[in-house]
Amino acid sequence: AKDAGRNAIRFFSPEMQAAIDSRSEMETTMRNGLLHNEFQLFYQPQIDIDGEIIGAEALLRWFPRDQESVLPIQFIPVAEEVGLIIPLGLWVMETACAQLKAWENDPRTRHLKIAVNVSARQLRQLEFVKQVQDALEFSGANPSLLKLELTESVLLEDVDDIVERMQQIKLFGVTFSLDDFGTGFSSLSYLKRLPLDQVKIDQSFVRDIHTDPNDAAIVRAIIAMSHSLGLKVIAEGVETKSQLNFLKNYGCAHFQGYLFGKPMPIEEFEKLLKRI
Ligand code: C2E
Ligand code: CA
Ligand code: CA
Ligand code: CA
């Protein structure tokens, strides 16, 4: 059995080995990047039914020195796998809270919320509640302006623990949104147990809302169900006026997408606020 185990190591194909090498290489460059301030938050506007900007989703960007920038879909999964998402996610939360605090003195910005993505791995840590509390206390940010976006992957294990952790965080005044809704495999009964404030309709349903009657039906059902559960609804990936009108007709009142603005550096986001 020992021999078999040793031989098994050689079963890695050159492609698999290359993938492993590039992953650990990315881990090292990411670790250094965190030390050298190579990460930035971009902000994408979130809009209400009157077209007003009510906040932004904070989206992580990585600009490695001497290298082309790397997309979140490339580095976030690696960060999750190797555990770097913990310090990285903490940095995101602290940076977002500092931004909320900085907006507090200006009447044009002090009502704005920031939505932060939280990976299941972060939420599964025992210390997560304390980390959120510390980020809020250290920055002095108003907790009710911080929104945490989760995905259905949090439901894969320990639902009771997750629910309890969420409830503790809600006591601070922080709210929760369920991201990518409709794409996961969770049952509605589980969903009902999560103390959510908002559901975010995944962009894949919004994209074909006009051309695919099934997507239109799903969007309608999500909105109706969420509202009857007392949840707010936001649609992501809104790119056209006609998608917006469709969503409005179905009763959706919050929107995010290229129609209103792409994720952008903070300076640009603040300029956008002044223009409106
Ligand atoms: P997500 O949370 O679902 O974020 C929405 C993604 O859709 C963003 O991609 C955004 O740029 C893109 N998007 C927004 N509006 C439109 C639109 O109208 N059309 C199209 N085609 N796309 C749109 P991005 O920034 O590349 O982020 C990808 C994913 O990476 C995010 O998906 C999220 O899962 C993850 N991510 C980003 N930042 C963080 C972070 O700070 N922490 C964690 N854990 N994950 C993050
Ligand atoms: Ca998100
Ligand atoms: Ca999403
Ligand atoms: Ca997504």
- ipTM (interface pTM): 0.97
Q: Is 23 helix (H, G, I), strand (E, B) or coil?
A: helix
Proximal ligand: closest to the CA of 115: 2
Atom 3 of ligand 1: nearest residue by CA position: 180
* pLDDT score at 18: 72
Report the pLDDT value the prediction gives residue 104, as an integer from 0 to 100: 97
Residue with tokens 């770097």: 84
- Map residue 19 onto helix, strand or coil: helix
- Which pLDDT does position 2 carry in this prediction? 45
Mutate which of 117, 199, 256 for ligand 1 pocket (most atoms within 8 A of beta carbon): 117
Q: Kindly identify the ligand whose nearest atom is closest to the C-alpha of 44.
A: 1
Q: Is the pTM of this model over 0.80?
A: yes
Which residues make up the environment of ion ligand 2, defined by Cβ < 5 Å?
A: 117, 149, 179
The pLDDT score that the predictor gives to residue 11 is 63
CB 64 within 8 A of CB 38: yes
Q: What is the pLDDT of residue 254?
A: 98
Query: Could you tell me the distance, in angstroms and rounded to a whole number, from the CA of residue 202 to the centre of ligand 4?
Result: 7
Helix (H) or strand (E) holding 77: helix 72-82
Q: How far apart are CA 54 and CA 67, in angstroms?
A: 35
Position 123 scores a pLDDT of 94
Q: Determine which residue's CA is closest to atom 26 belonging to ligand 1.
A: 72
Q: Whose CA is nearest to atom 8 of ligand 1?
A: 59
∠ CA 112-60-150, nearest 5°, is: 70
The packing angle between helices 85-103 and 14-35, to 10°, is 40
Q: What pLDDT, on a 0 to 100 scale, did the predictor assign at position 276?
A: 61
Q: What is the mean pLDDT of each run of 10 residues along the chain (276 residues)?
A: 50 71 84 94 98 97 90 94 95 98 95 97 95 98 98 86 96 96 75 91 94 93 92 97 96 98 98 83
For ligand 1, atom 7, which residue shows the shortest CA distance?
237
d(CA 73, ligand 1 centre) in Å: 8
Reported as type and span, the H/E element at residue 146 is: strand 146-150
